[in-house]
Amino acid sequence: MHHPWRALRGLPGVTVIWRKLPVDVYAMTNGTDRIWIDPRQSQAERRCTIAHELAHIELGHRQGCSDHDELAASLLAARRLITVQALADALVWSHDLDMVADDLWVDRDTLDVRIKHLHPSEVHHIRQRLAAREDGA
């Protein structure tokens, strides 16, 4: 399991600043050494947010990211936070995506990005797991 807070600790030059941000802004980064996070998020949202902002830093994105940059950071964070095995396990347990997100300890946006951008081999793996559940295995 990916631990974004542990990853952050491995980057001693990066500082997190907790501050109320404008509505619909969970966090932002300068792309090098500062991350601003709104503290009004749930624990799962903060976990996803820090993973997303760390992805921006890793990918070299600076202030004023394009839509393409945002998607790249979202995809990297989602893939790190949600393995295909964990996703398959959660989907075997429930088809309610809010419950799946809760089980995976992510926010719904991160889950939606991960599902929308599954690789065909990942889709195949998940379908096999779901079929096995239907067969009683």
In this prediction, residue 74 carries a pLDDT of 98
Whether CATH 3.30.2010.10 fits 1-81: yes
In this prediction, residue 17 carries a pLDDT of 97
Q: Is the pLDDT of residue 115 over 60?
A: yes
In this prediction, residue 64 carries a pLDDT of 77
Q: Give residue-wise pLDDT tens across range 73-111.
A: 999 999 999 999 999 999 999 999 999 999 999 999 999
In this prediction, residue 25 carries a pLDDT of 92
Could you write out the DSSP letters of every residue in 45-109? HHHHHHHHHHHHHHHT--SS--HHHHHHHHHHHHHHHS-HHHHHHHHHH-S-HHHHHHHHT--HH
Task: Tell whether the torsion through CA atoms of 113, 68, 34 and 26 is positive or negative.
Answer: negative
In this prediction, residue 137 carries a pLDDT of 54
Q: Is the pLDDT of residue 20 over 70?
A: yes
Q: Give residue-wise pLDDT tens across range 52-81.
A: 999 999 999 987 789 999 999 999 999 999
In this prediction, residue 65 carries a pLDDT of 87
In this prediction, residue 136 carries a pLDDT of 67
Distance CA 3, CA 8 (A): 9
